[in-house]
A and B are shown apart, each in its own frame.
Chain A
Amino acid sequence: MPSLTRRDFLKLSAASAALAAAGCSAPREPIVPYAAQPEATLPGVPRFYASAASFVGAAEGVLIESNTGRPTKVEGNLAHPGSLGATSVHGQASVLELWDPERSQAPRRRRLPAARDSFERELNDALARAEARHGAGVRILAPTVCSPALQSQMAGLASRLPEARVHRWDPLNRDHAHEGARLAFGRQLEPVYRLEESRALLSLDCRFMEDEPGRLSYIRQFAGARTPKRETMNRLYVLESAPSLGGAMADHRYAMPVAAIERWLLKLAADPSQDRVMRAIWDDLRKNQGLVLAGESLAPWAHALVHKLNRALDAPVSLVEPIDPRPETHARSIAELARAMHAGEVELLLILEGNPAYDVPAGLGFAQALARVPLSVHLSLYEDETSALCTWHLPATHYLEHWSDARAFEGTAAIVQPLIAPLYGGISPHELLSLLLRRPQRGYDVVRAHWRGIDWEGALRAGVVADTAFRAERPALRDFDLPQAADAPAWSVRFVADQSVLAGRFSNNAWLQELPRSDSKITWDNAALVSSDSARELGVQTGDMLELATQAGAVSAPAYVIPGHADRTVVLALGYGRTRAGSVGNRVGVDAGRLRGSGALWTAPLAGVRKTAGRHEFATTQDHARMEGRDHAKHIALADLVGKARAFADETPEHSLYPAWPYDSYRWAMSVSLNTCVGCNACTIACQAENNIPTVGKEEVARGREMHWIRVDRYFEAGRALFMPVPCMHCENAPCEYVCPVGAPVHDSEGLNLQVYNRCVGTRFCSQNCPYKVRRFNFLEYSRSEEPLKAQKNPEVTVRMRGVMEKCTYCVQRITRARIEADRENRRIRDGEVVTACQAACPAGAIVFGDLSDGNSRVSEAKRSPLRYELLAELNTRPRTSYEGRVLNPNPELA
C-alpha cells in the first residue's frame, strides 16, 4: 500500500462508509420482521425476516439476519415445511451470492453497457410487431418456476399474446418423475414422501437428501426415524449408481449402474422371491410400512413401477400436484424451442434466469440458434455464457432484493420479501414479465395482487401463507407397458447435480466451491469418479486424465478413485467447465454437459473411455479415507446395542495428576450425533457464514490450509462411508492452551476454550498440540475482501488478520447475545436460547448445544445417551463436545 496518512485514511473510511450506507438502503415497500421482534432497528441488534429461496425446484423457507439493513446470514424457518428450521448449503451460500461483486451491475446490449430505457423502447417496438401477429414468434424460456405469481403472469400472457409460447428448461428437471406419474396415473403428479412413517425405505438411485425438492424435510424425517429403538428405528436400503448422502446412511447399500438398478426393479416387480436379497428386502418393506423412492436417473416406466409398488405396499407417500405443472417435459420443450429458433420462427426470446447456452444438451445447438433470434433478452444475476450470446442482458434482482413468492415441495407458499433495495438496480422476473404484458408493475404489486385476501402481514411474519399446501390425491393406477430388459452398456457415465454448484448456478460462489463434496472431499473441482476396480481396469489413479465419449460429445476429465462405487460407471457432476461464470467459477472442472444428450440427461452409455496423457492435481480437504483401525467414528449394530447402558467403553483415564477445574456457572457443551448426521455440510458453511471464515482458494486448500471451523470427516470403513463432523472439542484439559507462550487460547469460567485473536502471535504451538486438528491458521492474508463483500461480514465476529490462529468458538457471540438478553430480564439463559450456527443449519438435528449444569437441558439429555462417547477420551483432554455413535440397523436376514 502506498503511504497513507491518517487524514487520508479517515477520508477514505468516511467515503466507504458513505458508499456502504448508500448501497444498503431498505426496500421501498414495507417489510415485516419475523415473529415478535422490536419494531425499530437498533444498531448492533440483528433482526430477522422470513423469506424463501428456491434451489432445486422448490422453496426452502429462510430467516434472514439483517444487521442495520445488511442481510448477513441465512437461517432456516421452523414453520416452513421445506425447511423445518434447517438450511441447505445453498441457502447458506445465497447471502454470498447477493454480495458477489461480480454480479451483473448494468443492462448490456451486445455486451456493451446500455440504458434500460433503450431496452424498453426496443422491447416495445418488438412487442408492437408481435401483437400484430397475436404473439407469434414470442417465446419465453424459464427454469422450473416455483412462483405462483409468476405462473399466473405467464398465464396472463395467453390473453394478450395468444400465439406466444412459454418453454421450460431446467438442467435439474424432474421429467422422469413427472412422466412416470403420467404413465401410472395419466397425469403429472409429484410424490411427497412421509419418511417418518416408514420403517423400511428402499431408495432406487434416489438422491432424496440432496436433489429432491423436499430434501431438507426428508433429512429431518429420516433422522427422526433413526432413534435407536427396535420398534421405531427405520432401515434404509439403497441401490445407487453414484455416491449419495443417502447411500452413506444406508444400512444396506448396493452400488450398480442405472441400467442394473432398472433391471433389478423389473425383477422385484415381477417376482421378489427369486433372489435372496430381493426377497429379504421385499419382506421387510411389506412388514414395516415400506416405502420405495425412485431417483430421477431411472426411466419414466421405472417411476411408474415404483408407484405401483408403493400402492401395493400402501406406502406413506402422498401424491400432489407438481409445483410447476407442464403439459410437456422440459426436454421436449427445449427441443421444440431450439427447433423453432433454428427455423427462424422466434422473433423475441425472453430468458428468465437460467443459463441455457451453457446447460442445454449440446446436440440441440441452442447457443448457435440464439444467433438467429432477432431480439433475445436474458435476465440473470450474472453476465454469463447465455448473456454473451443474447441481444440484451438485464441484471436480475437477487431473491434478497425482490418481492416474489414460492411454493415448497408439498405446495405451501411463502412470500419472498426483500431485505435490501436492489444493489445494482436489477429487474425481477415479475417486473420483466409485466413489461412484456405492457403493464409495467412493481414486483411488490404483482405479488400483492396475486395474494389478495390473505393475511399479508401474518404471512410475511410467519414466512408461510397459511393453508396453501397441495391436497394429496389418490388417483387410480393405470396399466402401462414395461420394456424388455435391455442389455446394459459396458461402460456408462452418470451425471449428477453437483452438491455445491448444482448445475452451475453457484459456480461463482467461493464458499460452495471450497466446500468439500461429501463423498470425495474434493474442493474447487468436479471429477470423473470411478470405483477402485474400474480404475484398475482403466489403468488410472486419482489425478490421471480420462477421455470420455458419448454420442453427444467427448471431454477429458481427471479420474478420482472412490471406494464402494458402482463398477464401470463414471460419475461426473454438472455445473463445471464454465467460461463466463466469473473469476471464481471460470475454468474450474470440466463441463459434463458436453457429454449430455437430450435423451440421456442422467446416464449415457460411454462410447469410449480411456486413459490419456496428463495429470490433474485435486485439492481435497481429506487425503486419507481409512480410519486405520482407530475407531474415531464409532458405530454399533442395533442388535448389539439393545440392553446396553453404554455402547462404547469410556476410555477417559480415571486418575489425573491435577484436580479437575471447578466450574460453578454455565457449562457449555455440545453433542454431535453420528447416528443422524448425513454429512450434508450445512454445518460447515453455516459456520463459515456466521463466523466470517475466509475462503483460501484451490492452491491453498491443496496445501492443507482450508479454514473451516467445523469439518465433516468422511471415512470409508467396511464398505460404507462414515461421516463425522468435527468442531473444536472445547476440552476441559485443553492441550492447546498450556503450550501457548502468550496465553492466547484460554479457558473461560463457563468452559469455553477461547482464542484471543489480539493476543495471538502465531506460534502455531496450539495446533501442533491439538489432537483433533481443529485449529485453523491464517497463513496468509486470507480475510481481505473487496466491496461489497465486506457487507456480508457478521459484525459480532472479529475478522482475523494474517498470522493469527482461529477455531470454533461455540458461537460465543450468540452466547453473549443470549446472556445480554437474560441479564436484562435478570434470569439465567434458558435451554435452547443459544443455538450455534452449525446446530441451527443442521437438517438432521444432529447437533445439540447447551448448558451441562442444567441437568434437564437437551445437551445433558444427549450426553446421557448410551451412544455417547468422547473423541480420543484416552488422552484425558475431557472434551465438552461429545458424540453419539452411529447405529446400524442391518436386516438380520442379510447378515
Chain B
Amino acid sequence: MISDIESRLKSKFPDSLLNVVSKDKRITFSVKKEESYPILSELKDIGFNHLSDVTAVDYIDEQEFELTYHLWSHQEKIRAIVKVRIPRESPTVKSVVGLWTGAQIHEREDHELFGINFEGNPNLLPLFLEDWEEIPPFRKDFDTRKYVKEKYYLEEEGYPVVKG
C-alpha cells in the first residue's frame, strides 16, 4: 500500500524527503544528492526491483542537472519517482549499478550525452558517437542547427542549400 511505504520511508529518513506527492498509485519526491544512494537502497529492499529509466534534464538557468530515477514494484504494482539535483559545474553522483544491473547502460548514455560522471560504473566508454570533439550534444548550450549550418550548408537567406 502506498501509505505504508510513505510512512516507512518517513520514519527512517525523517528530514530528507522533500515535496512528497502520492496519488494514482505513484509516489514522487525529491532528495538531496548525498542521501540519494541510501534512500534508493531502502526502496530496493522494500520491493522496488524494476528500474525503468534514469533521466537527465539540463536546467541551464539554475545551473543544475536534475536526475530522475523511475522505479516499479512488481509485487505492489506501484511506481516510485525520485528526483536528485546536482551542480552543473562538476556533475558527479554515486552509481546504482550495485542495486540494479540494468542501470549500467542508462548511466553510460547519460555520461556520453550530458557529461555527468557516475562513480563506480565499470564502463563509461562512448556508446553512440565516434570521434566526437565538441561538448556533450544534449546540453542546452550546444545549438545543433548552428553546428549543422556551418558544417554542411552554404550561407543563404531563407532555406539552407546543401554544399557540394
Do A and B form a real pair? Answer: no
- Chain A residues within CB distance 8 Å of chain B: none
